[in-house]
């Protein structure tokens, strides 16, 4: 385990214990989430070191890489995933200025495969070897390890996407530096993350599935995402809700609470969360941030 001594966003060394959360998904271990007194950023601390974290992903139950099962939750996940792929593509098409796309944390490659079929030049980065192999064998998409980012051309990408990925990255600041280097001046950065200020997070508390410790190392809300973007000369241009996520997160959270699936209560919890979020200035379960470089005073 490693212990962070400074906040990854503001550099403050002053933070307090915020919540203790169990890894209900896999290990049943408990992990602490701390909150920075300087900027309010929440992060898992202490956390498994980079060479220790892999074991928390190496399970056939990890749905983002599991495409073989046919149980109800997996089938629901696939349905939502397919809807989200089309929604993601529409966002890329609407907000990007060109067709050279890099998807970091692309999993088994379904999203970049869809983009390629619709005219984009795609590159995928995925640390999980099993997912990379699946992307090539089943989707015909070559996907590279994270080390490939160092070989990518400077300022060569029109759009860089991270769909529920940046919360998993050990060195947050190094990744943001890489993105800044790879993105064209007029390029678009699209980041989707869970929102720990959402109504469903408040409802489920420590049982909220999107804490997903220790795989989620960081826990964002709008103010801390804004701070992170500004650290690297970016600004948030638009925030877009991912309404389906409230249902999926509620489904898992109900399972963690009761020890069994309760799709009916999950449906109502997700609907309630989306209703409340609309009243709270788009404070949804997950948010997509459309990010660009800050405009200079002369622009």
Could you tell me the pLDDT band of residue 70, with boundaries at 50, 70 and 90?
A: low
Q: What is the pLDDT of residue 65?
A: 43
Question: Is the predicted pLDDT of residue 252 greater than 70, yes or no?
Answer: yes
Question: Is the predicted pLDDT of residue 298 greater than 70, yes or no?
Answer: no
Question: Beta-carbon neighbour count of residue 185 at 10 Å?
Answer: 8
Q: Where are the alpha helices (DSSP H) in 118-243?
A: 129-139, 172-182, 199-204, 222-231
User: pLDDT tens digits, residue range 28-61?
Assistant: 999 999 999 999 999 999 999 999 998 998 766 5
SS3 per residue for 169-196: CCCHHHHHHHHHHHEEEEEEEEEEEECC
Could you tell me the pLDDT band of residue 169, with boundaries at 50, 70 and 90?
A: very high
Question: Is the predicted pLDDT of residue 73 greater than 70, yes or no?
Answer: no
Q: What is the pLDDT of residue 63?
A: 43
Q: Are 29 and 47 in contact (CB under 8 A)?
A: no
Q: What is the pLDDT of residue 60?
A: 61
Q: At what angle do helices 263-279 and 244-258 cross, to 10 degrees?
A: 130
Tell me whether residue 224 is exposed, middle or buried, using C-beta atoms within 10 angstroms of its C-beta: 0 to 12, 13 to 18, 19 or more: buried
3-state secondary structure of 140: coil
Structure-token pair, residue 168: 């998993």
Q: Could you give the CA distance from residue 77 to residue 63 in angstroms, rounded to a whole number?
A: 8
User: pLDDT tens digits, residue range 263-296?
Assistant: 999 999 999 999 999 999 889 999 999 999 987 6
Domains and CATH numbers, the chain: 15-293 (3.40.50.150)
* pTM for this entry: 0.93
Could you tell me the pLDDT band of residue 80, with boundaries at 50, 70 and 90?
A: confident
Question: Is the predicted pLDDT of residue 171 greater than 70, yes or no?
Answer: yes
Q: Could you give the CA distance from residue 78 to residue 215 in angstroms, rounded to a whole number?
A: 21
């Amino acid at each position: 385990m490693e212990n962070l001594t400074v906040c990854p966003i503001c550099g403050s060394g002053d933070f307090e214990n915020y919540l203790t959360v169990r890894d209900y998904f896999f290990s049943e271990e408990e992990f602490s989430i701390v909150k920075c007194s300087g900027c309010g950023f929440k992060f898992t601390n202490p956390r498994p070191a980079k060479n220790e974290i892999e074991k928390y992903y190496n399970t056939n139950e990890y749905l983002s890489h599991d495409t073989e099962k046919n149980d109800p939750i997996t089938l629901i996940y696939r349905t939502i995933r397919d809807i989200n792929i089309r929604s993601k593509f529409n966002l890329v098409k609407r907000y990007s200025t060109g067709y050279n796309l890099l998807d970091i944390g692309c999993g088994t490659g379904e999203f970049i495969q869809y983009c390629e079929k619709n005219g984009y030049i795609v590159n995928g980065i995925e640390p999980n070897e099993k997912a990379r192999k699946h992307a090539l064998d089943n989707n015909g998409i070559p996907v590279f390890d994270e080390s490939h980012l160092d070989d990518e051309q400077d300022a060569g990408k029109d759009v860089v996407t991270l769909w529920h990925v940046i919360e998993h990255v050990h060195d947050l600041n190094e990744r943001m530096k890489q993105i800044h280097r790879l993105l064209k001046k007029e390029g678009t950065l699209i980041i989707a993350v869970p929102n720990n200020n959402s109504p469903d997070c408040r409802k489920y508390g420590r049982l909220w599935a999107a804490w997903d410790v220790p795989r989620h190392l960081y826990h964002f809300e709008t103010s801390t995402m804004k701070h992170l973007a500004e650290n690297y000369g970016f600004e948030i241009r638009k925030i877009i809700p991912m309404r389906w996520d409230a249902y999926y997160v509620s489904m898992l959270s109900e399972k963690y609470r009761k020890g069994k699936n309760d799709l009916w209560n999950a449906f109502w919890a997700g609907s309630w969360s989306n209703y409340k979020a609309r009243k709270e200035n788009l404070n949804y379960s997950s948010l997509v941030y459309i990010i660009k470089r800050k405009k200079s005073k002369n622009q």
